[in-house]
Amino acid sequence: GGPESARFVPVGDAGAIADAIAALLGDGEARRQCVAAATRQVAPLSIERAADLYAALYRRLAASGS
């Protein structure tokens, strides 16, 4: 992730978290951009993609006799 898909705050700083949340709640465009960036980041990690990767791995293992 990066600044386009997340808001980084100091660890343990509840005020900074509250400020980051309030900023996103108050700025619809920034919120939409954040959601869109996060959605793009996780798209390759869908359950369907993971299932396809595991199925391909199992086929390779079965073919190799492992």
Q: pLDDT tens for residues 6-59?
A: 899 999 999 999 999 999 999 999 999 999 999 888 888 888 888 999 999 999
Per-residue model confidence (pLDDT) at position 62: 95
- Give the pLDDT confidence score for residue 41 in this predicted structure: 87
Q: Is the distance from CB of 7 to CB of 20 less than 8 angstroms?
A: yes
Q: Is the dihedral of CA 45, 24, 7, 18 positive or negative?
A: negative
